[in-house]
Amino acid sequence: MEFVRAWGGAVILALLMTACYSGGGPNRSVSGTGGPGALAGAPAASYDVKRLDGSVDSLARYRGSVVLMNLWATWCPPCLQEVPDLQRFSKEFAGRGVVVLGIDQGESATAAGAFARSHSVT
């Protein structure tokens, strides 16, 4: 039930955004397509990022998987609150082709690593 409460708002928001940007909203172009809905089915852009262990990773590595990408920061109170739920979600769905990636927003690897270790983030 906690999962439903924690993720219910995000699911509703995603559904609303999909409805609003499915090509009929204010971002509609002359050709009739626009907004995020126009990207449906297209591969997400991928770029290299450095992991906390120093290795390089990219979204392309996870093609064929469902990827939940979480942008976070050590100073963000909601980020701190969602860590346990994201960790449980990651463990529960890891064997089902679901990957949870956490991307720290512009902080040092030292700060991000300390946060991840102190909150048992894998």
Which CATH number does the domain housing residue 96 bear?
3.40.30.10
Give residue 122's domain range.
Answer: 43-122
CA-nearest of 117, 56, 32 to 83 is: 117
Residues 76 and 18 in one domain: no
pTM of the predicted structure, to 2 decimals: 0.63
Rounded-to-integer distance, Cα 32 and Cα 37, Å: 11
Do 64 and 119 reside in the same domain of the chain? yes
Question: Which range has the worst mean pLDDT, 8-12, 57-61, 62-66?
Answer: 8-12
- Both 55 and 36 in one domain: the answer is no
- State how many domains the chain has: 2
Q: 68: helix, coil or strand? A: strand
Same domain, residue pair 89 and 118: yes
| pLDDT at residue 82 in the model | 94
Q: What share of the chain is helix, strand, coil (3-state, %, to 5)?
A: 45, 15, 35
Please report which helix (H) or strand (E) contains residue 89, including its range: helix 77-93
Within this chain, do residues 67 and 29 fall inside the same structural domain, yes or no?
A: no
Residues 53 and 33 in one domain: no
Confidence of residue 78 (pLDDT cuts 50, 70, 90): very high
- Do residues 85 and 104 both lie within one domain? yes
Instruction: Tell me, yes or no, whether 34 and 62 share the same domain.
Output: no
| 100 and 47 housed in the same domain | yes
Residues 48 and 23 in one domain: no
| 88-109 mean pLDDT | 91
Q: Do residues 30 and 47 share a domain?
A: no
Residues 98 and 114 in one domain: yes
Output the CA–CA distances (angstroms, integers) from residue 110 to 13, 47, 55, 86, in the order listed: 33, 22, 15, 21
